[in-house]
Every structure is written in C-alpha cells, then in structure tokens.
Structure 1
C-alpha cells in the first residue's frame, strides 16, 4: 500500500523555510541550464537561417573561410554576368550584389563603441539578400547607414544610440543612421549597411570582398564553381551560401561542445547540491520514517513518497525557471565573434531544462531515502 499523495505535499508545507531554500537552489540550477542551452540554440539558429540555397557567394580563394579578408577585382560582377546566364533577371536587373565587407572599429554617441561589421552594398543587395527587410526609416543615401536590429548588441551599445537620426563613426567619417532592418534572425542583423561607393571612398579601396548571386531554378552552383576553377587568373572560389554557413557551424563546433559540457557540469553540481539538501531533510525525519514502517507501510511505499517530494520540488523549480526564461531570457541579444544573436528558449531548451530539473529531483532524493530506510526500525525510533 502506498502512502497518500497528500502526505508528501503536506510534508513540504510543514517545513516552509527548508522547502523554499531547496526550491530556490533547484530553480537556480535549472536556470543555468536554460541559459546555456538557449545560447547553443540561438547560435545554431542564427547560422541555420543565414544561408539561402539559391545564393552563391564568389570571393577570393586565398581568404579560406573568412570573407572579411577577401579581396577581388571590382570588375568581377560584370565578368560573372557576362560569362554566366544563371543569375535571376527581373525587369532588366540582374540579381547580383557586389559587396565590401569589413570588421572595423565603430564609435557611437554613448561611448567608445566596439568592433562592428560593416557591409557596403548597392540597391541590388535586397534582391539577393531576400531575408533582409527594412523595418523602420529609409534606405541609406550619401553619408548614411542603416543598422540591423542587433547591431547595438554587437557594439555593446544601447538601442537609443543606434536609433534613426543618431550618428556613428567609422573609417574616419561620421555616418547618420537612416533606417533599421531585420533579417529573420540571420547573421546580417548585427551588421551596418551603407552605400558601396561611399564605403570604398572611406576605406580608400576600389576592390570588393565578395559577389553574391541569386541563381534561377534552372541553374546550379556547379556552373559558377566551374567558371571560377577555369579562370585561375582571377583567383576566385564559389560556394553556396548554405554551405558557407554550414562550414561556420563546424568552425564553432568546439564552442557548442564546450557549452554542452557546461550543461553536464551544471547538472552534476545540481545533483550534488540536491543530495546535500535532501540528506539534511531526511536526517531530521528518521523517527518519522521508522514510525511509518512500524505502522505497516513498506519501504517501497515510503521511498516513493520521498521521491515524490523531491520531484514535486524539482517540478516547481523547473516551472519557475521556465517562466523566467521565457519572459526575461528569450530573445536577449548576445555578443559573439561572428556578430550577435539572440538566446532562444524553444521547445528543445524547455525539454532539456525541465528534464534536468526532474532528474535532479529523482537522483537527489533516492540516495538519502535509501540510506534512511536501511536503518533498523528500533534504532531509528530512538533517534533524536
């Protein structure tokens, strides 16, 4: 026969201070798990949604995977459009975007700023970068820039300092912010965009970093790759945009593995903390446990009741942490080397966080309960 369900619930209410401390400890551990898993999921989501299967990037073969170090001739876009028919053409406009992409020091009005990512583009850029949407303000004109919604987080600045009408300084010039854009969580959201000609003048460069081509359904990236291999004098390489960001996934794989290792460490620490608190809770109830055995309850029933108490506390702590994570952490911007992204508390993060919490409740309650139940009933009844 099992103990009544209400018995375990009432036991938690009999010791409000100990219950509250245990609840806070469990909720803190689960919250740390939510933060780390949300970080991992946000990074993975940002890299996943950044690529477009129909877009091919053409950049320098010497830059390897770092496009910021790429330098190609300014005539490359015209060579590509003249030699290949694979790019989408609408209303007489070829969807090819020449771009100059650099990491440079950006100063804002509220401080020193930080290392920002600036992309010089033309009016054909939104035709190729189809995720980019202007959400406020206007497309940049002469001496103007538009900023991604996470650009402030990348610079370590406030949103007010990156508002429309404010100014930023980079490459020795002042630039006025004319608009803000979003890109559905893609990496572009941490960038600053300006006119290609203005950026080339400011940097005293006439070359490009890359050319992005939107291919038609009848074309394939293999045609562009073959052209780059045949024209060895240009020293170009072509890569589908999804493949490029997949390679970044592999580049950041050690970071993600380290983050998962932190989840394991935090969970292990939480289990030991739970063991410590549950040992203290059970140690003060030795006579109670012995009395239950004396009146006829089996050890299995008492063990289930003690585990029930631990699981109830862990479930309450997981629920509390989940609510806080969804309301306060979800969508929080995080600075990173590749730019910035948002912490993502999705279904996977909720499942892992709550699963760890329930695991803490079970594993934290079992060892002290088993130890108390192994003691002789007569000896335990005399315990003080």
Structure 2
C-alpha cells in the first residue's frame, strides 16, 4: 500500500507539474527558475544538489552515445512539432494580411464565403453609394464589385496533373483599394480584353503563367500580361476584368462580393448600418480583416491539432527513450550515488542532480530541434486548399519566437518526465544494496 500511494503521489506530481508548465506564462516560469537558483546557492541541500549535478554532468562525455539518444529524440519531436505549427501560423498570417480595418466586404446575406455569394447588379449599385465609402480624386467611390470563379490549370511540377486556381474578376478601383499589390513583372490587364495578371504564388504553383503566355479559362483563351506581389492570400489568385470573367463564365451582371475602402475604420458602423437598414438589400457586411481572419480559423485549428497529436505521439517515444537512458545512467552510477549518500547527501540532492542532468539534455535537444525547424522550414513555401475558396492558397511557413518557446517547453517537459522516475529510484536505492550491486 505504501508503494502504491508513493507511486500515485509521484504521478500526481508529474500531472500537476506539466499542467503548471503549460499554463504559466514565461515571466512566472522565469521567476520559478530564479527562486530555484537562489535555493541552490543559499541552502545546504541546494549546494549539495549543485555539487552532485556537476559530478554527473562531468561524466556525460563518457556516456555520449546514450546521452545523444535523448538529445536527438527530443530534437526530432521539437522539429516536427514546430514545423507543423509553423504551417498553421503561415496560413493564418497569409489570410489575415489580406484584410484591414479600413476596408469592408459585402456579400449576400448568410453567405459563408465569396464563392457562395451572389449579388445582382441593382444591389451592387446601391452598395457603392452607401455612406462611409472613401472617394478618389475624381469623386468616384473606391469600391470594387468582384466575381470569384474557379479554373483548372496544369501544375508546375511537371506531373501533368491539374489543380484548382481561384480567378478574381475585379473592378477598376481594385488597385486603389489594395495599394499593397505591386506589379513585379509585365503590366496590368486592359479592361474589355481577355488579359489577366497572376499572383506570384499562383505562378509558382501552376505552369504557363509567365507574361506573354496564353492559357485556357473556361472556353476562352486568355493572355497573361503581368505578375503581381500582394504579400498575402491574393498572391494565389489570377486577376482579370470582372465583365470579361462574367461573360466567359455566363454570370451576367452579377457579382459575388463588393470590396470598399472606408473613409476611416470608424466609418464601418455607419456603412454597415446603412446597408442593413436598406430594404432593397439582404447582405452581410464585415471588415476584410475580420472576414479573412475567420476564414483561417478552421484550417489553423486542424493544423494545430494535427501538430499536437503528432507531437504527443513522438513525445511519448522520446519519454521512453529518456527513461531507458537515465535508468541505465543511474544503474551505471550506483556506486557513485551510494557514496554520496554515505557521506551525508540526502535523497533530495540526488533527485535534483539526476533531474537537472536530464533537463540539460532535453534543453540541448529542444534548442537543436528548434534550430533545425528554423533553418529548414522558416520561409518554406507551401499550399493547401483554402477554407471558403475554390483554389489553392499559397503561403510560407513562419517559425516564430513563440513557436520556438513552445518547442522548448515541450522538450523540457519530456526531460522532466523522463528524468523524474530514474531520479526517485536513485534516491530510494539503499546505500548498502547499491554498493554491493556495483
């Protein structure tokens, strides 16, 4: 019964420690670390723990093979976890950068996204005259009625397969509405002609999108005349004249959405209230910042969940690796530990020494894994089907400091679990038994 209760108490310590480690912010964890260092410097037991730790660390070079198992195992967990989470961060940033607080999007009421929205010509006209919309130098409202459709194009990987790309028919004010969009090659398309410009992300994904090349959209042949860089989700799209896209896809005068630039962010409430109060309209109104952020939520959660599940599975393997290594280390140092106990070292310094040794290896693994993830995946280009869209979204993985901190916390948590049980065993081993077995 005593052994059972001791094991239960140890398991409770592990659970509470992991929960606290996951929940506490870094300033609180830093404060705990400072208090621990003060304890090691100012107390007799702490100084004993420091001496025992220095002895154990000094022998790591003699156990380089077994120690590297812990380091490499934890590095693998951290590298995979951080890279998967970086995918979610990159996806979210690509979409969130597509919007701003001083631009708004109007769609048909109850539409989940642009592709499920249809606005007739009369509604588009009313929307463009609503109060709160900024106007250009000539007095025209900075509003762009737009039409989103899908097209299939051959992929650039040479496989011969086709992928779906989102084609956006835009109005003449679309460029003023999105000043972040810059042409990096060629020129803008001319209204009334079957010309288009491609985002640099779309050009990377699909074949035949170089300026001067011709592609098939619908049943028509279109000429690529330019490449643009938006620095956001728009980079995955093709842009053309809205009237020409509507003609090619038989959409008449309808549009899927209307984008507007507001006089300032504070004008959004006035703009939205005016459209909601108009009996001729049944529309949903949102800032583009809010709209695109919502579009990223579902996929980001899925990617993060996958990363966590994979991290847990790999982490369990790393914990067992650490347990095996540290149990072997404790067994190999049984005489040394017994000698320390015999000359007056209590169980606590022994536990702390073994724990610190394991945490040091875990820290090295965490730093190595984070470095690998940053070197290999930061800025790495990827693409996936976008939520609420009809084509692939091209984005870059972002290994942020927050993700590196998350990976480091996972590494130290693995080291804590992997070192605790061998440490407790070392402290509980009777001195006479340890000396006899050695």
- Tell me what 2:145 maps to: 98
Give 3-state SS (helix, strand or coil) of 2:364's partner: helix
* Residue 208 (str. 1) matches residue 255 (str. 2): yes
CA contact (8 A) 1:108 1:169 kept: no
- Tell me what 1:35 maps to: 83
Partners of 2:63 and 2:394 in 1: CA distance: 45
Pairing of 1:213-292 with structure 2 (within 5 A): 213-217=260-264, 220-252=267-299, 254-255=301-302, 258-259=305-306, 261-262=308-309, 263-264=311-312, 266-292=314-340
Partners of 2:423 and 2:186 in 1: CA distance: 63
Partners of 1:373 and 1:168 in 2: CA distance: 73
Give 3-state SS (helix, strand or coil) of 2:239's partner: strand
Q: Are residues 173 and 331 of structure 1, via their aligned partners in 2, closer, same or farther at CA, if it must alter by over 3 Å?
A: farther
Partners of 1:191 and 1:282 in 2: CA distance: 59
- Tell me what 1:138 maps to: 187
Give 3-state SS (helix, strand or coil) of 2:51's partner: coil
* Residue 373 (str. 1) matches residue 421 (str. 2): no
> Which stretch has the larger CA shift, 205-214 or 69-78?
69-78
* Residue 330 (str. 1) matches residue 384 (str. 2): no
CA contact (8 A) 2:147 2:169 kept: yes
> Which stretch has the larger CA shift, 112-121 or 196-205?
196-205
Unaligned 5+ segments in structure 2 are 1-47, 387-392
Among 404, 422, 432, the residue aligned to 1:350? 404
Q: Are residues 357 and 162 of structure 1, via their aligned partners in 2, closer, same or farther at CA, if it must alter by over 3 Å?
A: farther
Partners of 1:363 and 1:230 in 2: CA distance: 60
Note the C-alpha offset of 1:188.
Answer: 1.6
Q: Are residues 218 and 39 of structure 1, via their aligned partners in 2, closer, same or farther at CA, if it must alter by over 3 Å?
A: closer
Q: Are residues 6 and 254 of structure 1, via their aligned partners in 2, closer, same or farther at CA, if it must alter by over 3 Å?
A: closer
Note the C-alpha offset of 1:183.
Answer: 2.7
- Tell me what 2:130 maps to: 84
Give 3-state SS (helix, strand or coil) of 2:161's partner: strand
Among 362, 366, 371, the residue aligned to 1:314? 362
> Which stretch has the larger CA shift, 175-184 or 326-335?
175-184
Residues 314-364 of structure 1 deviation map (CA, whole Å, 9 limit, x = unaligned): 121122112222221112233233223322211210111112112222221
RMSD: 2.9
> Which stretch has the larger CA shift, 143-152 or 367-376?
143-152
Partners of 1:372 and 1:24 in 2: CA distance: 24
Note the C-alpha offset of 1:374.
Answer: 0.9
Q: Are residues 188 and 380 of structure 1, via their aligned partners in 2, closer, same or farther at CA, if it must alter by over 3 Å?
A: same
Note the C-alpha offset of 1:259.
Answer: 4.1
Note the C-alpha offset of 1:367.
Answer: 1.0
- Tell me what 2:121 maps to: 74
CA contact (8 A) 2:88 2:304 kept: no
Note the C-alpha offset of 1:136.
Answer: 3.5
Alignment TM-score, normalising by the size of structure 2: 0.76
CA contact (8 A) 1:107 1:170 kept: no
Residues 69-123 of structure 1 deviation map (CA, whole Å, 9 limit, x = unaligned): 2111235443333x42432112214311111112332224633231211111133
